[in-house]
Structure 1
Amino acid sequence: MRVPCPASLLPPAYDPDGRGEVQALAGRLADLAVQALIDEAELTPKPALVDGRGSGAHRDLSLAAMRRSARALRPTFLAMAQAAEGQPASRALREELAAIGRAGEPAMLAATGGSNAHRGAIWALGLLLAATAQGHAASPAEIGARAAAIAAYSDRFVPAAPSNGQSVAARFGVAGARGEAKAGFPHAVHVALPTLRRVRAGGAGETHARLDALMAVMAVMDDTCVLHRGGLPALRAAMAGARVVLDAGGTATPDGWAALARLHDTLMRLNASPGGAADMLAAALFLDRVTCPAAAGSCPLMETDPWKS
């Protein structure tokens, strides 16, 4: 289904709680974040990731669990958007957003039976929707820069024990999720989103546009999820395989489609899932909706219009 392009999220769409425009904007941003996570999960076929075929390399997850997790995080995203509405970047905002994100993790774990479906996405999408809520409509790069300004502040209350991603980033000397945020999410803003729009504009279907965006990120990003599961050999295989898909003309071509299937087989053998790249795709899908050019007339949002939820 094609829906009108959301060129601006600022005019109020609905006010379910009678709290005025701030609540309406925050609710719309939360809906868009949830929908981005669902769209990423449902995209099929993805290499070694949960999708419509099955669990990929994630034996503890399923597509149904990913959908439940995304929907369970709506209150978290709503609270983040409300906290950032009209606020400048500051240490207080950084710490408040982090506290909201950590408080939201139990809802994710309850929805998945204890599995980590979206911890990285809470960080990425939370910062981007907060950056969107800070001020008037902005370009993807401007939203990324706002998110970077928030992420630049330290958090006095960060848990002492590092996460798997932080440990992997330190071990291999890569940016990781925190480095990505402090740089303004370049893999979402400057890699995934331009690829998505370029392939879409070229006439390929939305599935191919989204898969090619994922491949573009996988080809260049040091994915800590891949490194955690398979080390440098798995990362090299993921990057090289994604480049083969793109060099073949992308997933809309027979050769690119075949290369995508081979990449899936390779990463399944290595038990390596590109979860970091998937988070950047979800971030790009969110940015696509909140910055869709008015000149485009409409945006292909596939089957679901989150504004109706």
Structure 2
Amino acid sequence: MNSSREDRTLARAAVEALTRQVALCPKPGLPDPRDLGAGAVHRDHRAVRWSARALEPGLAAMAAAARRAGAPTPGLRAELGAIGRSTEHSVDLAGGGHRGALWTLGLLVAAAALEPDAPAADVAVLTRRIVAHPDRGAPRRPSRGASVSATYGAAGARGEGRAGFPHVRRALTALATARTAGATEDQARLDALLTVMSTLQDTELLHSAGPMGLRHVQAGARGVLDAGGSATDAGAAALAAFDSDLRARGWTPRGSAGLLAGALFADALPVRSGRPGRTAQLLGS
């Protein structure tokens, strides 16, 4: 499928959002530039950034599919699923990772292509109209995330999409609040990440740490925010202690990382019109 310049711009902005999320530091329990030795994630940080680039063709194809469909139809849902599975294979060849981010970014890119001038939060809400249709080509065997969701009654990645990515919208609000309070961009992004972590039912954490572990992580994230967030001395100290705790336990809240990437992408919209936005920042200009 041919993609337009607008489709490719959307895809590039999504990948840049993901690489900015990867570069953010310090992220509690998550890979960041401190992990050049691979450490807890068993993968070099540079490889994580490189494999993110493998998402771009698939994301551009998703934007093109949405543009051609013109509406969140069952056919579009099936096409997005097929493109997503093909893209997962390409990412695996490039080093793996980013599966949760692909789900989030793919749906947001498609929604942004459907409604080019919609505000960021509205783009997130539009995704639920896409996910409302079944993915007819999905494998019959449930994924690990789906199995964990069923076991614990957690929303999981699909539940987030069906609800219009509420944690992406919460992260957008946290970004705006922190910026208004005078936080730096990295501090605003860290507070947005912690906002997601404080309430997300992360299926990766449920799988590795169980319900008690999930509640421990949620409480730790809330503790940093209650201390004033990463822009304050007390919040920064709480963040450092929280990060050390998660790294010692080997707990990795990957679901929150993918949703932060989605929020950073949505925050950059609109990327196709002449109106001012944060796109230039995301694209490195």
TM-score (norm: length of structure 2): 0.92
Q: Distance in 2 between matches of 1:134 and 1:224?
A: 29
Partner of 2:35: 54
Partner of 2:23: 42
Partner of 2:162: 182
Q: Distance in 1 between matches of 2:61 and 2:276?
A: 31
Instruction: From the two aligned structures, give the one with the greater helix fraction.
Output: 2
Matched, 1:100 2:80: no
Pair 208,300 (structure 1): closer, same or farther in 2 beyond 3 Å: farther
Partner of 2:121: 141
- Local SS of the residue matching 1:160: coil
Q: Distance in 2 between matches of 1:262 and 1:44?
A: 14
Q: Which amino acid aligns with 1:199?
A: A
| Kept in 2: contact 1:57–1:272 (CA 8 A) | no
Q: Distance in 1 between matches of 2:75 and 2:197?
A: 34
- Name whichever of 134-143 and 123-132 sits farther off: 134-143
Deviations 1:99-155 (A, max 9, x none): 00000112111111xx4x111111111001000101331022321222110001011
Q: Distance in 1 between matches of 2:153 and 2:276?
A: 43
Q: Distance in 2 between matches of 1:58 and 1:90?
A: 41
Partner of 1:279: 258
| Kept in 1: contact 2:168–2:260 (CA 8 A) | yes
Pair 161,218 (structure 1): closer, same or farther in 2 beyond 3 Å: same
Pair 80,299 (structure 1): closer, same or farther in 2 beyond 3 Å: closer
Deviations 1:9-35 (A, max 9, x none): xxxxxxxxxx7xx60110110001100
Deviations 1:174-215 (A, max 9, x none): 1000010000000001x1011011111221111100000000
| Kept in 1: contact 2:209–2:251 (CA 8 A) | yes
Partner of 1:16: none
Partner of 1:166: 146
Task: Name the count of aligned residue pairs.
Answer: 280
Q: Which runs of 4+ in 1 moved over 4 A?
A: 55-58
- Name whichever of 252-261 and 140-149 sits farther off: 140-149
| Kept in 2: contact 1:48–1:272 (CA 8 A) | yes
Q: Which runs of 5+ in 2 are unaligned?
A: none
Partner of 1:230: 209
Partner of 1:80: 62
Q: Which runs of 5+ in 1 are unaligned?
A: 1-18
Q: Distance in 1 between matches of 2:22 and 2:280?
A: 14
Report the identity percentage: 44
Partner of 1:64: 46
| Kept in 1: contact 2:270–2:279 (CA 8 A) | no
Deviations 1:2-61 (A, max 9, x none): xxxxxxxxxxxxxxxxx7xx6011011000110011000000000111101117874322
- Name whichever of 261-270 and 72-81 sits farther off: 261-270
TM-superposed CA distance for 1:297, in Å, is 5.8
Q: Distance in 1 between matches of 2:107 and 2:267?
A: 15
Q: Distance in 2 between matches of 1:157 and 1:255?
A: 50
TM-score (norm: length of structure 1): 0.85
Matched, 1:201 2:184: no
Q: Distance in 2 between matches of 1:216 and 1:49?
A: 15
Q: Which amino acid aligns with 2:112?
A: T
